[in-house]
Structure 1
Amino acid sequence: MADPVGTGRHRLAELTAAAAAAEVPPAGLCRDLALAYEKAGDPAAAMRWALATTDAGGDLTCWTAAAGVLRRASAGAAASVVSPGAAASAGAAASAGVAVPARAAVAAAAGGAVVPSPVAGHAARSARVALLGSYTTAQLAALLPLAAARAGVAVEVYECGYGQYRQEVLDPGSGLYRFGPDVVILAVHEGEAALPALAEDPERAVATEVGRWTSLWEIITARLGARVIQHTFVVPDTEAFGHLALRTPGSRSSMLAAVNAALGRAAAGGQVAFVDCERLAATVGKRSWFDPRYWHRAKQAVSLAHVPTLARHTAAVLGAQLGTSRKCLVLDLDNTLWGGVLGEEGLAGIALGDGPVGEAFSTFQEYIGRLRARGVILAVCSKNNEADAREAFERHPAMRLRLDDIAMFSASWEDKPTQIRRIASTLGIGLDSLVFVDDNPAEREVVRQLVPEVDVIALPRDPHGYVRAVADYPFFEPAALTTEDTARTEQYRARARAAELAASATSLEEFHRGLEMVATVVPLDELTLPRVVQLIGKTNQFNLTTRRRGEAEVAELAADPSTAVICVRLADRFADHGLVAVVIARRAAEPGGAVLDVDTWLMSCRVIGRTLEDEIAGLIVAEARRLGCSSVRGHYLPTAKNALVADLYPRLGFRPDPAAPADAGRAAPAGGPGVAPADGTGAGATRWVLPVASALNRPGLIRVVDARAGGAAVASASARTMEEVAG
């Protein structure tokens, strides 16, 4: 009689060995491993391999099976999002009693242990997502949880009936309202656009069509308080006007393109984001994207072969809106930014700029530069002599990237996992914010094994394919573009220089004084509102309540005269870090006197540990006095990521609120989603009070000026010191 346990282990060993032979195992193999680990009773490994399926291609059958594994594995435990970078980890194989494959030797050679990516507690946002479609969306709804998990978001999905999206939005008694989504996805196709084949007044037709959609957005954001992600219209490849359509504004294809562009303009800075289906369809081929057989038989507007692609990109946009996008691209040098080995070829011998190969490397650098220009942080991680590596940036005439483009430059003979950890630590960002690019498969693998939180992009052998490889990676997706985003490199370079100053300082106080910091309180206006909303949407560590608010809600709160909004910029002698801190507090009438209730207090991780929080506490007290409050009340709502500020209020002199609910302070469950309840009564929540008459012990290491009085135009003339504001 066959031994089922032994047979299962033998099958796992075979599959694991096959996966070890490929740097990126094919989707079918990832699916088979996910199913095999599920059968072996290892849900953590099953989920890792299910997520790895999403990086291995767009096969619908494989994705569907992997989505089933993830759903069943999550049902047996609290849903967690895991890093697919460790999907092939030998630790996972060992947990099922399978022989560790040879690829683990790569990690051993670097002097480290093979550590599988964790299941519980890994970075995760959770969201309730409503999928409202104008066509059959059952397949997309089934795949979205898998794709979203890969993007760092655990989702619960609601799907409306076929073509019922508008009725669901307009009817307050619909299932949509009962579901209460955080995000609404409008999955609509071009046939839903009410545009004629030829319009006599195309401008009016376009404006009317845009109004049909923006009115839905307004209802969704106002009534549901949800974000919106809309799929753009795909312009069909079948055009009766032929090439004449391009110079016929009233043709349907011209108007569809105009509607897409106008919707983009209408959504600028708001709570609406897009999945550019027009670009996706053009990438795969429009005749492949839309198959009339699927439409006529099942009203499927996206070919089944491309539903995984649509799910992946929709999830990337969802992750960007919820703050899970990656922040930093870590770059190798030799045979990555230029051809050849600098230490062997010399500066004149590397391939860069001249010839087909040299042009390929230059083009790759140009694309990386465009990523930097819109806010992606760049770092260098190379095994090289640092002076030689820097010389290439300074002297080679064909270099498109310069040292000023690099936030942190690490070139040494240390192993790359060690360098990468130092890069993350110095820049003050999590390892799960990094993406690593290297031409060497062995270096890529050791990073996957030893730093599994880091995403690794597998470059092709041919440098002509480098741009495509990085461009196809979807998780740098930005939520918006602010002035702080465009200045991000300089801000993080300043952080690296500050780290050098800290290393040379004899005390922390000396270090802080040497930074010569100036905090400026600025008004909330049309210039600062997008950045404030961005911080509210993505800040996790220094965030006392983790309440997420959209632009309209923040603007409405700020318009209330009983609400105080504090926006703070910070600059030091190295850089202007931009708007880095936000406080929203509301005056509440209480039997014992008015209280200023701190609804939101958050600060960018780039300035944590600089005593700015002490100065902001003084600003909060000053606002309480201005509003006639006798005390300030603060809330701490614990999440999986904000333990950093658990003791902030008591450290600042606040005392436990005797009027707090009886269950305040009870232990919070581990592995929470990272979003606190809006009412302040979640598990582990604490409340703190501080009389405004209490003297705050501020370190005095930051000069604070208030530029709100009279607006920015008079900031230099009427700037007041902190003592004047608080006095």
Structure 2
Amino acid sequence: MNQMIKCIVWDLDDTIWEGTLRENADNIILRPGIEQVLVELDQRGILHSIASRNRLDQVVSKLEEFGIAQYFVSLQCHFSSKAISLRQIAMELNIGLEALAFVDNDSFERFEMNYYYPQVLTFDAQYYLELPKSPSLQVRDVTEESANRRHYMLARQQRKAAERGFQGSREQFLKECQMVLQIQQADPGDYPRIVELSHRTNQMNSLLERIDRPFVESFCQLKQHMIYVARLKDRFGDHGLIGTCFVALEGNAMKIRLFCISCRIEGRGVAAAFLYTVLKRLVLKWPQMREMHCLLARKERNLPARLLLEMLGFHKLEEQENKEYIKYQLNLPLADRTFDWLEIGE
């Protein structure tokens, strides 16, 4: 299976444009067709960033002059190694290095990148027009969230900047964000985004499984099987469908078959509010239930999902023979929890 690329990091000189910014800024020109490549990949939900050995103010000025500045996030423009830039971009976007691709005209820069980060896919800039055909840059369905991913990321960065400048407590800041979390059962219009979430999320993906639409459709057709979805809005914008949870009722137990929550909303208590609210609604509807179970992939990269379950009161069952998965259990009734910093609705 091809690795999924979430962000392409571009060099600038003789890559995005022809010429060298520091030497001949007035005479550089965009490479033919580069804007169309940026737009096409942006519409698929693939982010663009920059790692360039140029001054940031000059870069931004030239990008604005060419009318393409809006397509880039988390610019890294300085005179240090581009490998350092990629790690910083991954950190700012909260994605793994394996989800980045790097485009540069210089074979030395590409070699250095793969020397330090072999998981990063590199492309020779001379083949930039072929990028939209790359298997790693294909998407199954272009959802509303895909088409707006850049805007979601910019809103996330605005929130981060506002948080850095806020003088009050963490909870006060979250209240100032005016978050509204809408939780409801999924309908067929949500299925493409549910599938996309399973493919794009790792940190908050309980099984790290990549499902398809037939699986979602067949799950919903089974008796006492439900899929819940969460949408989030705040003062910085509409973040779209950011979470899903697959639940099955078996005997006196409820079982979470899969949950996936976007990494874009980390650090706000939204993931805990989503799962807790789903569980609370299920318990109110089926009060005879005594236990909640969840199977979790035993992988380091979904550690945040493990911590989320434990925070909600789940505990690991003893004597587990399965080396790939961890079984968690939560005894009912649920302990009361409040999430005063956000509004939760249907």
TM-score, reference length from structure 2: 0.88
Q: CA, structure 1 residues 442+541, in 2 after alignment: closer, same or farther (shift >3 Å)?
A: same
Partner of 2:193: 531
Q: CA deviation at 1:535?
A: 1.9
Give the residue type in structure 1 aligned to 2:27: G
Distance in 2, matches of 1:553 and 1:475, equals: 23
Q: Name which of 30, 44, 48 aligns with 1:374.
A: 44
Partner of 2:330: 689
| Alignment of structure 1 residues 187-198 onto 2, 5 Å | none
Distance in 2, matches of 1:667 and 1:532, equals: 27
Partner of 2:240: 578
CA contact (8 A) 1:536 1:547 kept: yes
Q: CA deviation at 1:559?
A: 4.1
Q: CA, structure 1 residues 351+503, in 2 after alignment: closer, same or farther (shift >3 Å)?
A: same
User: Can you list the C-alpha shifts for 1:161-210, whole angstroms capped at 9, x where unaligned?
Assistant: xxxxxxxxxxxxxxxxxxxxxxxxxxxxxxxxxxxxxxxxxxxxxxxxxx
| Alignment of structure 1 residues 15-34 onto 2, 5 Å | none
Distance in 1, matches of 2:207 and 2:29, equals: 52
Distance in 2, matches of 1:400 and 1:504, equals: 30
Partner of 1:649: 309
Partner of 1:626: 285
| Alignment of structure 1 residues 113-262 onto 2, 5 Å | 153=1
User: Can you list the C-alpha shifts for 1:408-435, whole angstroms capped at 9, x where unaligned?
Assistant: 2222233211111111111111111111
CA contact (8 A) 1:624 1:632 kept: no
User: Can you list the C-alpha shifts for 1:294-314, whole angstroms capped at 9, x where unaligned?
Assistant: xxxxxxxxxxxxxxxxxxxxx
CA contact (8 A) 2:6 2:100 kept: yes
Query: Which structure dedicates a bigger proportion of its chain to strand?
Result: 2
Partner of 2:258: 600
Partner of 1:436: 102
Q: Name which of 331, 334, 340 aligns with 1:700.
A: 340
Matched, 1:331 2:36: no
Partner of 1:489: 150
Partner of 1:423: 89
CA contact (8 A) 1:432 1:453 kept: yes
CA contact (8 A) 1:567 1:582 kept: yes
Partner of 1:476: 137
| Alignment of structure 1 residues 540-579 onto 2, 5 Å | 540-560=202-222, 562-579=224-241
CA contact (8 A) 1:383 1:414 kept: yes
Partner of 2:269: 611
Partner of 1:414: 80
Give the residue type in structure 2 aligned to 1:409: L
User: Can you list the C-alpha shifts for 1:507-553, whole angstroms capped at 9, x where unaligned?
Assistant: 54354334332211244222111111222344332122345543233
What are the ranges of 5 or more consecutive residues in structure 1 without an aligned counterpart?
1-152, 154-318, 353-360, 669-682, 707-727
Distance in 2, matches of 1:471 and 1:654, equals: 44
Q: CA, structure 1 residues 549+330, in 2 after alignment: closer, same or farther (shift >3 Å)?
A: closer
Distance in 1, matches of 2:48 and 2:161, equals: 18
Q: CA, structure 1 residues 457+693, in 2 after alignment: closer, same or farther (shift >3 Å)?
A: closer
Matched residue count: 343
Distance in 2, matches of 1:548 and 1:370, equals: 24
Counterpart secondary structure, 2:297: coil
Matched, 1:390 2:91: no
Distance in 2, matches of 1:445 and 1:552, equals: 41
Distance in 2, matches of 1:572 and 1:390, equals: 28
Q: CA, structure 1 residues 654+496, in 2 after alignment: closer, same or farther (shift >3 Å)?
A: same
Give the residue type in structure 1 aligned to 2:307: D
Give the residue type in structure 2 aligned to 1:486: A
CA contact (8 A) 1:340 1:351 kept: yes
CA contact (8 A) 1:584 1:600 kept: yes
| Alignment of structure 1 residues 46-85 onto 2, 5 Å | none
Q: CA, structure 1 residues 495+452, in 2 after alignment: closer, same or farther (shift >3 Å)?
A: farther
CA contact (8 A) 1:545 1:637 kept: yes
Distance in 1, matches of 2:111 and 2:146, equals: 31
Q: CA, structure 1 residues 369+606, in 2 after alignment: closer, same or farther (shift >3 Å)?
A: same
Give the residue type in structure 2 aligned to 1:386: L
Higher-Rg member (1/2):
1
CA contact (8 A) 1:497 1:574 kept: yes
Q: CA, structure 1 residues 374+645, in 2 after alignment: closer, same or farther (shift >3 Å)?
A: closer
Give the residue type in structure 2 aligned to 1:613: A
CA contact (8 A) 1:587 1:627 kept: no
Q: Name which of 165, 190, 204 aligns with 1:504.
A: 165
Give the residue type in structure 2 aligned to 1:562: Q
When the two chains are superposed, the root-mean-square deviation of aligned CA atoms in Å is 2.5
Q: CA, structure 1 residues 379+610, in 2 after alignment: closer, same or farther (shift >3 Å)?
A: same
Counterpart secondary structure, 1:456: strand
Q: Name which of 28, 52, 68 aligns with 1:350.
A: 28
User: Can you list the C-alpha shifts for 1:204-243, whole angstroms capped at 9, x where unaligned?
Assistant: xxxxxxxxxxxxxxxxxxxxxxxxxxxxxxxxxxxxxxxx
User: Can you list the C-alpha shifts for 1:70-90, whole angstroms capped at 9, x where unaligned?
Assistant: xxxxxxxxxxxxxxxxxxxxx
Give the residue type in structure 2 aligned to 1:425: M
Counterpart secondary structure, 1:330: strand
CA contact (8 A) 2:292 2:329 kept: yes
Could you tell me the percent identity over the aligned residues?
Answer: 23
Partner of 1:107: none
Partner of 2:118: 452
Q: CA deviation at 1:578?
A: 1.5
Partner of 1:302: none
Q: CA, structure 1 residues 381+515, in 2 after alignment: closer, same or farther (shift >3 Å)?
A: farther
Q: CA, structure 1 residues 541+367, in 2 after alignment: closer, same or farther (shift >3 Å)?
A: same
Distance in 1, matches of 2:281 and 2:184, equals: 15
Distance in 2, matches of 1:489 and 1:629, equals: 45
Q: CA deviation at 1:700?
A: 2.4
CA contact (8 A) 1:621 1:692 kept: no
Give the residue type in structure 1 aligned to 2:332: P
